[in-house]
């Protein structure tokens, strides 16, 4: 059974998703020829950045509205190795939350569509003075409303 990183919320819309295609570069592998474990957060970032940009909510969009969204938590499960020149995909899923946080799940698959790595990240929302936002800012609440109404 697949582990659910973020529990299903009653009446919440389905996660938003986006898939990025990549190929392992030489600089990403270690001395034994597999992707170094510390590279996976940047792979997550590739999917998270593409997914959020698709909806006009990238880092700089938040910043322009006086909000920053640093990573609060990250988890990675390694299943199979990726090697130099392997092609793979990174699926990012944005999970619903009415809180002032961003919940992302990640699934990396090799060319054979085997799951090689899974994980998640949670970002909290702060104002530019690093005060934690308890309630999402208005622009994000409007995004949530469009998401819930199926207008994205």
Residue with tokens 């940009």: 53
Looking at the predicted structure, is the pLDDT value of residue 96 above 80?
yes
Pick the CATH number of 16-148 from 3.30.9.10, 1.20.1260.10, 3.10.129.10, 3.20.20.140: 3.10.129.10
Domain residue ranges in the chain: 16-148
30 as an active site residue: the answer is: yes
Q: Which two tokens stand for residue 73?
A: 């938590």
pLDDT tens across 5-62, in order? Answer: 898 888 999 999 999 999 999 999 999 999 999 999 999 999 999 999 999 999 999 9
pTM for the full predicted model: 0.94
Cβ–Cβ < 8 Å for 124, 72: yes
Quote the tokens at residue 49.
């950045």
Report which secondary-structure segment, H or E, holds 23. strand 16-23
* Selected catalytic residue, list 30, 46, 127, 129: 30
The Cα–Cα gap between 62 and 56 comes to 9
What are 112-147's pLDDT values in tens digits?
999 999 999 999 999 999 999 999 999 999 999 999
């Amino acid at each position: 059974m697949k582990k659910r990183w973020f529990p299903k919320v009653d009446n919440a819309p389905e996660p938003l998703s986006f898939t990025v295609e990549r190929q392992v570069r030489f600089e990403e592998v270690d001395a034994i020829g597999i992707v170094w474990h510390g590279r996976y957060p940047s792979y997550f970032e590739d999917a998270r950045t593409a997914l959020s940009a698709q909806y006009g909510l990238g880092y700089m969009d938040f910043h322009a509205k006086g909000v920053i969204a640093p990573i609060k938590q990250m988890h990675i499960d390694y299943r199979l190795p990726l090697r130099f020149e392997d092609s793979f995909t990174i699926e990012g899923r944005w999970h619903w939350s009415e809180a002032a946080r961003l919940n992302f799940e990640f699934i990396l698959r090799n060319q054979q569509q085997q799951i090689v790595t899974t994980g998640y990240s949670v970002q909290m929302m702060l104002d530019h003075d690093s005060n934690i936002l308890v309630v999402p800012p208005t622009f994000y609440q409007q995004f949530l409303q469009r998401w819930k109404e199926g207008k994205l």
